[in-house]
Amino acid sequence: MTKWVYAFGDGHADGDASLRNLLGGKGANLAEMSKIGLPVPPGFTVTTEVCTYFYANGHKYPTELKAQVEAAVAQMGKQMGAKLGDPKNPLLVSVRSGARVSMPGMMDTVLNLGLTPETIEGVIKLTGNPRFAWDSYRRFVQMYSNVVLGVESSEFEEILDHAKEAKGVELDTGLDADDLKAITAKFKEVVKKKLGKPFPDNVEDQLWGGIGAVFGSWMVQRAQTYRRLNKIPGDWGTAVNVQAMVFGNRGETSATGVAFTRDPATGEKYLYGEYLINAQGEDVVAGIRTPQAITKLVRERQGSKLPSMEESMPEMYKQLLGIGQTLEHHFKEMQDVEFTIQEGKLWMLQCRAGKRTAKAALKVAIDLVTEKLIDKETAVQRVDPSALDQLLHPTLDPKAPKTKYTSGLAASPGAAIGEAVFTADEAEKLANDGHEVILVRTETSPEDIAGMHAARGIVTARGGMTSHAAVVARGMGRPCVAGCGNLRIDYDKKQMVVGDKVVKQGEVITIDGSAGVVYLGRVAMQNPELTGDFNTLMAWADEIRKLKIYTNADTPTDARTARSFGAQGIGLCRTEHMFFEGDRIVSVRQMILAESVEEREKALARLLPMQRGDFEEIFRVMDGLPVIIRLLDPPLHEFLPHKDVEYEAVAKQAGISVEKLKQKSAQLHEMNPMLGHRGCRLGITYPEISAMQARAVLEAALNVEAEGKKVDAEIMIPVVAWKQELDFIADIINKVAAEIKKERGKLPTFKIGTMIELPRAALQAGKLAETAQFFSFGTNDLTQTTCGISRDDAGPFLTEYQVKGLLVRDPFVSIDRDGVGELIAIAAERGRKTRPDMEIGICGEHGGDPNSIELCQQVGLTYVSCSPFRVPVARLAAAQAALKKFERDV
């Protein structure tokens, strides 16, 4: 019989951390905490396999599940000395989700399940605290009605707000037992009115409703969006954790909180988090009450007058500190924990690896090595390569003039500038239209996930350091200022107000998530300095990785930036980008419009010194590192005007009539230019273009060598399908080289290679390697030509593919392993059969994608090439790929 339910608690557990895929992260860690003797309320986990079964079988459960759940509930009751539904000694439980990777706030939770008109009397008698009992009941009715029954939470919030207003109190804690009893009755009236049936008072119905709601929440829109953004497969499913309730709202000796064993923003080693006395868990993250700091240090840094847990509950603080250290030593990782103190007893409700900023991830990884908890190889694997983007972009210039608008908590570091917008939908829409936006909300909710991802930064009026906005922003690498207490947002008028200062939608603001400040207008930025922890981790990564990391650079500035980030060469220098600068475009257009070879060569002669000068500067910057220069690739019509207003100016520059210019442009127009007259095809039709570019490269190399510098020049021929094309252009290059040797008495060392960007070239790689000395996969075009998809038009429907679970990743972001990946493996193998020492790499933005880099390591490529700011990402991803053990299944 299949085991669908795993129990934990009371120093025992059926599972452990190795069963993460089956039990989910939360269930596996609850089992692990139980086994090492930490105070964990007993409970059980319904496995992720039930979720998979649930969706594969029309929302039905396996037949054995009911009996296994009943047995687990009975065991949990025995451990707690209570029983679900017992009017005298009732057991209350929580029902929570738990996927194998953390998805904070994306799925549903139900607390206080098991309360009914009968059991609440038992709770009152057992605790002697009617206010606590009715507070728990009204929370349960509200949460269950929203999560399980689908009644909007705002219906209940309005009743609660009116009750507080009528009583003249600001916080829920100002309401007494009679108030809460009346509110609960009104909540139930709302449910009956909305649904036409009463709120369920049968505890078994409540339990299965809660379990079903958690499984159902796996496929809600916000969870699907989160999975798509974080590349989490939809078929993983979630587990459900049912756990005995412990209560932080049982008076002044009770509390609830969230803590990190190290600061998630900086990585500093101290307990960092928030707690509330006489509260339940959702109060801390919802922003309804102002949470208090765990430590005195953080309280003082935040300038808060509210006492920290260290000061108000010193004994509980010491216990929590000790448990945090135990967990770090056990898991050998920074932890994020949820806890509840019930009448002076500390209970641990959850632990997981703490989400953190890139800066914190670097510090924590290096400190754990120093503390001898992990080795360098493990440290390198602990930092998400993509998260390094947070460190590689500008921050606010401290010397720049600023006009402060408001301030709050420094919830997620970094800085951003954008137009203020007040809804997630508007943020997403404007971002898609090319606007940079800052999402401003009273508080964010999981439904805002797409807008938060689209925004450059996030500001909230309510919420603390562990609020939804703060946690999600840190995970996404977005700067966030949370809990700006004096900020008022008017959604109808699309504006926000601080005092007498109004900011309307569309007006620009700047936020500093590292300082927790919002400024009016634009504030100047400055480039980051990458030192200390960053350099240490990068040095470890460089010791481990096998792949070389090159960059795509078309200018000396790009080349310098890439070298400062550790690039070992240029894998793609696109010569056509140089043609658009200054007066060069005039000569380029004259070359295109020439009626004879002689006219074309005259125009090319004017371009030659410009191209040669460009290459000289790049060779100087790279100082002996490889520079792979791609010959002209795009079709010629891209250099001609496309609008009527431009034709007259261009015609005048070229010395021809507007009519003739339009005629020439029409002749060059192509129905499908991506597969048209471009790349090596241009060089075959106009050999003089390839000859000029080859001369510019080789003469530049000679000139820089004459200055005493080393040069490693490599000429790459694009869009090759047949070996005859490659040979034709290679002959032109070699002929020019012979002429230069005759003229100057020597030649620089250089190589001739080709881009593999067509399926035919990949399949014929063995023959191409007879001429080509290196290969570079142009994975953008190879993806287009293999999948038959235009990258310029595919965005909308590929997103739909991901939403519907047809694709986990966009193939233009991560290489399609089964199709494009197999062609890369075939070409590499066949090329090296002909030329065993052949260097082979990829260029394009796939070269900065960790998943694609893993593929390159797997198939044995030599290098990857990416944009300058992705170089550190690629260095770290290459090290992580080198540490993985692969089966050659690509």
Q: Assign 67 a pLDDT band (cuts: 50, 70, 90).
A: very high
Contacts of 69 (CB under 8 A, 6+ apart): 5, 44, 46, 207, 211, 242
Per-residue pLDDT at 448: 84
pLDDT in tens, 630-652: 999 888 777 776 666 667 767 77
- Catalytic residue, chosen from 51, 351, 468, 480, is 468
Known active-site residue 866:
no
Q: Where are the alpha helices (DSSP H) in 438-529?
A: 449-454, 468-476
Residue type, 390: Q
Tell me 83's DSSP state. Answer: B
Query: Using an 8 Å Cβ cutoff, are 37 and 59 in contact?
Result: no
141: confidence class by pLDDT, cuts 50, 70, 90: very high
Question: What is the Cβ-side half-sphere exposure of residue 705, based on CA atoms within 13 angstroms?
Answer: 15
Alpha helices, H only, 669-710: 680-685, 687-706
- Strand residues in 71-220 grouped as ranges (E): 93-99, 109-113
Query: What pLDDT is stored for residue 63 in this prediction?
Result: 95
| pLDDT above 60 (res 889) | no
Residue 693 and residue 323: Cα distance in Å, rounded?
Answer: 67
Name the CA radius of gyration of the chain, rounded. 32
Nearest to 520 by CA among 396, 401, 440, 403: 403
Contacts of range 439-445, beta carbons closer than 8 Å, 24 or more positions apart: 440/487, 440/489, 440/496, 441/469, 441/489, 442/489, 443/286, 443/287, 443/467, 443/468, 443/469, 444/468, 444/469, 444/472, 445/105
CA-to-CA separations, 334 to 270, 299, 379, 518, in angstroms, rounded? 11, 21, 12, 30
Q: Which two tokens stand for residue 596?
A: 């004879």
Residue with the bigger pLDDT between 710 and 473: it is: 710
Q: Report which of residues 800 and 737 the model is more confident about.
A: 737
Residue that has been written with the tokens 């290196």 in this structure: 774
- The residues, ordered by sequence, that sit 6+ positions from 626 with a Cβ below 8 Å of its Cβ are 550, 568, 569, 570, 571, 712, 714
Which amino acid makes up residue 143?
Answer: M
Residue 79 in this model has a pLDDT that exceeds 80: yes
Segment among 374-378, 469-473, 485-489 with least mean pLDDT: 469-473
CB-based contacts of 30, cutoff 8 Å, min separation 6: 8, 9, 13, 40, 43, 45, 241, 243, 350
Q: Do the Cβ atoms of 191 and 159 come closer than 8 Å?
A: no
Catalytic residue among 51, 351, 480, 843: 843
pLDDT the model gives residue 677: 87
Q: Say whether pTM exceeds 0.95.
A: no
Distance CA 878, CA 546 (A): 7
Distance CA 388, CA 386 (A): 5
Q: Region 569-573: what's the mean pLDDT?
A: 96
Q: Report residue 167 as tokens.
A: 């009583």
Q: What is the DSSP letter of 392?
A: S
Residue range 855-864: mean pLDDT, rounded? 97
Q: How far apart are CA 698 and CA 679, in angstroms?
A: 20
**Unique residue bearing structure tokens 């600068």:** 581
How much is the pLDDT for 2? 93
DSSP state of 869: G
State the CB neighbour count (10 A cutoff) for residue 819.
Answer: 15
pLDDT given at position 888: 43
Spell out the long-range contacts of 651-657 with Cβ–Cβ below 8 A and sequence spacing 24 or more. 653/586, 653/589, 654/586, 654/589, 654/590, 654/593, 656/593
| Active-site residue, 468 included | yes
Supply the pLDDT for residue 439. 98
DSSP result, 448-472: GHHHHHHSSEEEESS--TTSHHHHH
Helices 658-668 and 584-593 sit at what angle, rounded to 10 degrees?
80
Rounded distance, CA 123 to CA 148, Å? 23
Q: How many H-runs (helices) and E-runs (strands) does the chain carry?
A: 35, 32
Check residue 421 and give its pLDDT: 97
Residue 745 is predicted with a pLDDT of 94
Q: Where are the alpha helices (DSSP H) in 148-176?
A: 153-167
Confidence of residue 618 (pLDDT cuts 50, 70, 90): very high
CA distance 589 to 852: 38
Of the listed ranges 76-85, 186-195, 583-592, the least confidently predicted one is: 583-592
Statement: residue 288 has pLDDT above 90: no
Amino acid in the structure at residue 305: K
Tell me if 844 sits within 8 A of 778, measured CB to CB.
yes
735-781 pLDDT tens trace: 999 999 999 999 999 999 999 999 999 999 999 999 999 999 999 89
Quote the pLDDT of residue 887: 47
